[in-house]
Structure 1
Amino acid sequence: MRAIVHDVYGTPDVLRLDEIDQPVPGRGEVLLRVRAAGVDQGVWHLMAGMPYAIRAAGFGLRAPKRRVRGLDVAGRVEAVGPDVTRFRPGDEVYGTCTGSFAQYACAKEEELAPRPARLTPEQAAVVTISGCTALQALRAGRLKSGGRVLVIGASGGVGTYAVQLAKALGAAHVTGVCSASKADLVRSLGADEVVDYACEDPTDGVHRYDLVLDIAGNRPLHRLRRALTPRGTLVMVGGETDGRWLGGYHRQLWALLLSPFVRQQLRGLASTPNPEDLRALGEFIESGSLTPALDRTYPLAEVPDAVRRLRSGHARGKIAISL
């Protein structure tokens, strides 16, 4: 089968299209004929092996342990392994797996759900990781009905879900921060106000919020706190800096140390997709309150270009790979 593989860490140039053996589903797994896959920041981190903490976490110190990248997936069940009870061949599903940048991939039964009828395979393939991250961030922030929410990075993969979910969960006012070229997208997602970060500092303290989501940002902690109410909550989701060892996660460590000594709640988020949140996202999707914002779709052979667009910061929402 065809798959995107890499044998060394590096830039998108290390990714290449190759012929490899088709996987065989094990106990509790299903074999998927992949119809679409999602591209997220985790793909880049695992491809580049950066920050180095990723390598130390078990993904391979000198070279990647797994050759095929890709986590988000939508596809058709081709075969099932022993003990699989929820799915059978022919079912259309979505969720996560290991190695979705391939014609076929194996996924654990509990990491999949029936694909919502409202979504195309490409739309479904970009839901799980970013959607679960946004949902978990809002829960970690203890979002209450009637609260004011600031989403920094509102036009990105996680941010586009966070804006919609905040409104669906009862936020009275959602402010999205993005570039001027993406303001129309963020407004279309339901944001009550959009701030162009090039013209206005959303953390200058003029406006205060009950919950601030800082998604893949690099603003210092003291500036983010200025945007909070006296008992507001900050949730930092990832972080994109040049740090070779921890990337932007040093801010989350500092927040963990500082939070017990201040009235505001300062939290980092290490999200993990799970079946309960996937089902919850499916309900929001079926009700019409959540729709994936799909930027572009690329064929399998152009995964390197898709990763480059993701890292360029030009994407308006999510990027999908179509097979």
Structure 2
Amino acid sequence: MKAITQYAYGTVDMLAYEDVPSPKPGPDEVMIRVHAAGVDPGVWHIMTGRPLIARAALGLRRPRETIRGWDVSGVVEAVGADVIRFKRGDAVFGTTGGSFAEYACAAESKFQPKPENLDFVAAAALPTSGMTALTGLREVGRVESGWNVLIIGASGGVGHLAVQLACHLGARVTGVCGGDSAEFVTSLGATRVIDYRRETLTGTYDFILDMAGNRPIPELRALLTPTGTLVIGGGEGDGRWFGGTGRTARAQLISPFVRHRLAGLLSLPKPETLREVAELAASGAWAPRIDRTFALSDAPAAIDYLVSGHPRGKIALVVA
């Protein structure tokens, strides 16, 4: 099968489009024929091995997994002897290492039936960003109807889903993005948009989700109600060793000593969370907006566009 492989950390120049053996499902695994694969910042982090502290999990000298990709959608091609939820021909979506390939394997718990109202491209773009948004707003933020919510990075992969989810939960949403994305963010349900390039952040909010930039924590706390919640899910800075994790650590150290709730956003793939993501999509509560698609062989261009093109919503690879 064709796949995007990588044998050393670095730029997109380290990626190759080549033939590799097709995977074979274990007893509790599902093998799918990949129709589409999502492209998210996690792919860039694994490709570059940054922040360097992450190499303890990714592989010290080189990536442990040689095929790139994580989010995926496709059709079940074969199942292991112990698989009970899926059969050949089922349309599914979920997460698995090595999704930038014509075939991929993972435990059946990593997949959910593809919502019928999503095509394969939209379904492939949803898992990681959807689980991150859901964890941030509902599990960590506990957002309630009537709240004023600020989403920083509202036009991005996680941010544009967070805007939709906050609106679904009954919140009034202000989105922060570049001015050229204002109409896009408004179309997601935001009642107000702040252009970070030209405007200062103003207002008072019950909940802030910060998915972009590196704003000081005191600046963000000044926008919260006395008992408001700040969740930091992304950002820049802190160098090659720690990436954007330093600001998150500082927020968590401060939190016990103030009335505000300050938290980092760590979203791990869980079967129950992916199931909720699928249910929200099936109900029409949210759907990924696709900025661009690329062929599997153009994965390097897709990753370059992800980190430098400021996509509105998600991008994906079309495989089959």
TM-score range for the pair, normalised by the shorter chain length: over 0.9
Q: State the partner residue of 1:211.
A: 207
Partner SS for 2:240 = coil
Q: Trace 1:1-323 onto structure 2 (pairs within 5 A).
A: 1-56=1-56, 58-139=57-138, 140-171=140-171, 173-202=172-201, 206-241=202-237, 243-323=239-319
Query: Runs of 4+ in structure 1 displaced over 2 angstroms?
Result: 238-242
Segments of 5+ residues of structure 2 without an aligned counterpart are none
Which letter maps to 1:108?
Answer: A
Question: Residue 306 of structure 2: SS of its match in structure 1?
Answer: helix
**CA positional deviation for 1:133:** 0.2
**Secondary structure of 2:244's match?**
helix
In 2, Cα distance between equivalents of 1:105 and 1:8: 21
CA contact (8 A) 2:29 2:105 kept: yes
- Write out per-residue CA displacement over residues 66-110 of structure 1, whole angstroms, 9 at most, x where no aligned residue: 110101000010000121100000000001011000000101101
* Structure 1 residue 313, shift from structure 2 partner: 4.2
Q: CA deviation at 1:273?
A: 2.1
- Structure 1 window deviating more from structure 2 (121-130 vs 237-246): it is 237-246
Partners of 1:314 and 1:118 in 2: CA distance: 27
2:40 and 2:157 in contact (8 A); partners too: yes
Aligned CA distance change for structure 1 residues 313 and 266 (closer, same or farther; 3 Å): farther
d(CA) in 2 for partners of 1:145, 1:248: 30
Matched pairs, number: 318
Q: Which amino acid aligns with 1:208?
A: T
Distance across 1 between alignment mates of 2:125 and 2:143 = 24
Counterpart CA distance in 2 for 1:302 and 1:269 is 31
- Give the CA deviation at 1:176: 0.4
Amino acid at match of 1:115: K
Give 1:242 deviation, angstroms: 5.7
- TM-score normalised by L of structure 2: 0.97
Q: Whole-Å Cα distance in 1 between the matches of residues 271 and 61 of structure 2?
A: 33
**Which runs of no fewer than 5 residues in structure 1 stay unpaired?**
none
* In 2: Cα distance, 1:93 partner to 1:279 partner: 12
Q: Is the 2:67–2:98 contact (alpha carbons within 8 Å) kept by the matching residues of 1?
A: yes
> Is residue 238–residue 245 contact of structure 2 (8 Å, CA) maintained in 1?
no
Report the 3-state secondary structure (helix = DSSP H, G, I; strand = E; otherwise coil) of the residue aligned with 1:98: coil
TM normalised by structure 1 equals: 0.96
1:201 deviation in Å? 1.8
Structure 1 residue 217 displacement after superposition: 2.8
Cα RMSD after superposing both structures = 1.0
> Per the alignment, in what secondary structure is the counterpart of residue 307 of structure 2?
helix
8 Å Cα contact 2:156/2:310 also seen in 1: no
Q: How far is 1:285 from its partner?
A: 1.5
Distance 2:213 2:88 in 1: 42
Instruction: Give the drift of 1:144.
Output: 1.3
Cα distance in 2, alignment partners of residues 241 and 12 from structure 1: 21
CA distance in 1, matches of 2:82, 2:143: 39
**Separation in 1 of the partners of 2:135 and 2:216?**
22
Cα distance in 2 for residues equivalent to 1:185 and 1:157: 13
For 1:245, what is the secondary structure of its paired residue?
helix
What is the letter of the counterpart of residue 261 of structure 2?
A: Q
Q: Secondary structure at the match of 1:125?
A: helix
> Aligned equivalents of 1:193 and 1:273: distance in 2?
31
